[in-house]
Amino acid sequence: MSAKQSFDPKKFRDNPALISEYLNEALASYDLAVLVAAIGTVMRAQNVVALSEETGLRRENLYRMFAGHRDPSLGNTMKMLAGFGVQFAVEPRASFKVKPPRPKLGRPKAEAAD
101 in a domain, yes or no?
Answer: no
Q: How far apart are CA 3 and CA 20, in angstroms?
A: 12
Compute φ and ψ for 106, nearest 5 degrees: 145, -165
Tell me what the mean pLDDT of segment 77-100 comes to. 85
17 in a domain, yes or no?
Answer: yes
This model's pTM is above 0.85: no
| Percent of the chain whose pLDDT exceeds 70 | 90
Tell me what the mean pLDDT of segment 9-38 comes to. 88
pLDDT-based confidence at residue 103 (cuts at 50, 70, 90):
confident
pLDDT-based confidence at residue 92 (cuts at 50, 70, 90):
confident
Structural domain containing residue 66:
9-84
102 in a domain, yes or no?
Answer: no
2 in a domain, yes or no?
Answer: no
Tell me what the mean pLDDT of segment 27-39 comes to. 90
Q: Where are the alpha helices (DSSP H) in the chain?
A: 9-12, 16-27, 32-45, 48-55, 59-65, 74-84
